[in-house]
Structure 1
């Protein structure tokens, strides 16, 4: 399902550690690995002469040493713009980005580059922390698909279901009832009942989609909490989830994520990799 992977690298130690994980993903899917280095226009942020070529040649050697076909390129400009342009203009199926880097890909999830790539890329983006608890391994064994019943959540859930089938992984479906929004409403009990009914319906619909796609093991849950992203993270830790798959809105509102800021908070705080899937524009 992933035939072409894109990995932007800046030669940092974080990117270096994540590269091994990217190679594992590409090897599992027999994919071509695209390696991209972006040299910023700002002279203060540019690498020293020869660094870009060195970083790319090292990454290419490691990937090809595992038997992968590679494509490498150096571009010049604003890193997130060039990464998005490459992802949107080529036939890559997945962008993988580390959550820590140095100049050029610095700040990343805790800053602007990865968030902008996630918002602008029309292909799925996998964000991976090089400091992930317990290390990184692929294929992922347990996937989590949070849903609020929206189109973008369903788009992500379908991809998560396909990935679960491809890698023989267990799939968990979760919908969270946000009780914090009801605290000041006298209709609280009635509204909670309505929200619970909606949540039950969302997970039932997601379960049906996963079953139709062919997922062998589906676990559904409805949780209550004052923080949706917090409940998702708690579920990840309680059930040893390896990957969260979550949807983002299309161009008409790509400055906002599914369920408001939930996806953004997960990108910043998730203890495991997060796969963000863009809602298709035609949807």
Structure 2
């Protein structure tokens, strides 16, 4: 499953929350956690506090690594000076990272619905899955996972996430929920023929059936499937809240995704607004 998990941290509350999620997963899968702190080279240039800032980053990495080691997790730590999202991706390649776990906001995140720029770029460009963890006001966590949601439209970008979702569900003995939303608003289907709507509904059903089939073959304890109509991001968000979803696993691109550097609008909205952590998986080129 996961052998090497990368946790970029700047010591912020949201980043620290992500450490807990990484620790729980590493404990269950016997994975190693790599703690990475990045000193932003753009802000350090000619800055009088250059040495102090790098020292702070080193202390954060050491403190986090020590806490993880004391809980029995194998850890490695690193401090880099670079543009943060670039340093994270380069480290992931160098260390053969299988999963990146990070908060949706760093120290500069000031609004709940404003995805941190570093996180956004890592999600868009990472070659490995990225688990984004939102800050919880009450400090609650959603692990151990009981209910995992897999939104799907049947595209290759959506289907590539199924093995990851199944593995996590098996690890946590969790239920998988497969949801496909017919985008009646975006496609103007309400004004189209019943034949077109029926075809889209059949496609949605086939998409959730594919998830159910793979999950059942892998002996996932329970699987629920559902189809819905409306704006996909809104219906997915409603499903998360209505069914107390603990984790969302989805592709970064669906049927409308055409470029690597353009995050699918549905995935982007869910990462930004979901009350539960979201694992995004990009389709290999």
TM-score, normalised on structure 2? 0.89
Distance 1:109 1:25 in 2: 27
Distance 1:152 1:188 in 2: 28
Q: Indicate the residue corresponding to 2:24 in structure 1.
A: 24
Q: Indicate the residue corresponding to 1:236 in structure 2.
A: 240
Distance 1:48 1:63 in 2: 23
Whether 1:80 aligns to 2:85 is yes
Superposed counterparts of 1:30-179, under 5 Å: 30-42=30-42, 43=44, 48-102=53-107, 110-131=115-136, 135-179=140-184
Shift of 1:261: 0.5
Picking from 277, 280, 283, the partner of 1:273 is 277
- Stretches of structure 2 lacking an aligned partner (at least 5 in a row): none
Distance 1:195 1:16 in 2: 42
Task: Summarize the Cα distance change of 1:115–1:217 in structure 2 as closer, same or farther, 3 Å threshold.
Answer: same
- The 8 Å contact of residues 182 and 188 in structure 1, kept in 2 or not, is answered as no
Q: Indicate the residue corresponding to 2:252 in structure 1.
A: 248
Shift of 1:249: 4.4
Shift of 1:49: 4.7
Distance 2:283 2:137 in 1: 27
What is the aligned length?
277
Distance 2:236 2:139 in 1: 19
Q: Cα RMSD between the aligned structures? A: 2.4
Task: Summarize the Cα distance change of 1:181–1:50 in structure 2 as closer, same or farther, 3 Å threshold.
Answer: closer
Task: Summarize the Cα distance change of 1:171–1:75 in structure 2 as closer, same or farther, 3 Å threshold.
Answer: same
- Stretches of structure 1 lacking an aligned partner (at least 5 in a row): none
